[in-house]
Amino acid sequence: MKTKILFAALLVTIRIIPVFAQDDWKLQKDKDGIKVYSGSYPDSKIRAIKVVATYEATPAAVANLVMDINTATDWVSHLKSSSLLKRVSQDELYYYAEVSLPWPVANRDFVAHLTRNLNAQTGAITIDGPAVAGYMPEKKGIVRINNSTGKWTITPLENNQVRVEYVLHVDPAGALPSWLVNMFSGEAPMQIFENLKLELKKSGLENTAPMLTSNTTK
């Protein structure tokens, strides 16, 4: 089981993200209010992943946690390291991360570009940004991920609750067969969303005020 989770972590530790229209989602796991789906992705053997859950928190609280690169290793499973490379603004940044995978599989790393946007009418927050190829030199012994896409959509509900949806597709590169990644893609998304709930409570972020100062949409 531990090996399964580690392989699956490759798919979900990239908190980057615009995604794609998808209407063939198949439910893979449903536990404690967290639902994990998989779906086909154009021109790829690697299936896309969607995770949906509801939390007692504000949209800003969840978004602030996702944008906080310094605390990512506290709740993103099997994320070995995460460091800020460049902060463009309060709502835009570049960061580097390394994902731990079991020996003899090489670890993966990536550079991501995150941007946060607020819909002024609905109060929903999205966090978008692709993996960025060529931003920094590759490291010996680590496989660089350059192709990935996904999206966080954080929507306010009644009674101080939010609906959090995370959709992503990532090409893990290197010698990982697609059938193996697809087979074990349900465990880590579930674990990360469980950790997200705990981190919100631990950090006291349930009622955090919005930090957005730019990229506001109407």
Q: Evaluate whether 123 touches 110 at the Cβ level (below 8 Å).
A: no
- Could you tell me the two tokens for 174? 């290197």
- Cα of first residue to Cα of last residue in the chain, in angstroms, is 45
User: Of the candidates 208, 166, 130, 153, which has an alpha carbon nearest to the alpha carbon of residue 50?
Assistant: 166
CATH number at residue 143: 3.30.530.20
Q: Which domain holds residue 169?
A: 2-217
- Residue 174's region, left for phi above 0, alpha for psi from -120 to 50, else beta, is left
Which residues have a Cβ under 8 Å from the Cβ of 104 and sit 6 or more positions away? none
pLDDT one digit per residue (tens) for the chain, 218 residues: 555 555 555 555 554 334 444 568 999 899 999 999 988 777 777 788 999 999 999 999 999 999 999 999 999 888 899 999 999 999 999 999 998 887 778 889 999 999 999 999 999 999 987 899 999 999 999 999 988 877 899 999 999 999 999 988 777 777 666 665 665 566 888 889 999 999 998 866 554 444 444 455 54
Amino acid (1-letter code) at residue 53: A
Model pTM? 0.82
Overall domain count for the chain: 1
Burial call 18-33: b when 16+ CB within 10 Å, e when fewer: ebeeeeebeebeeeee
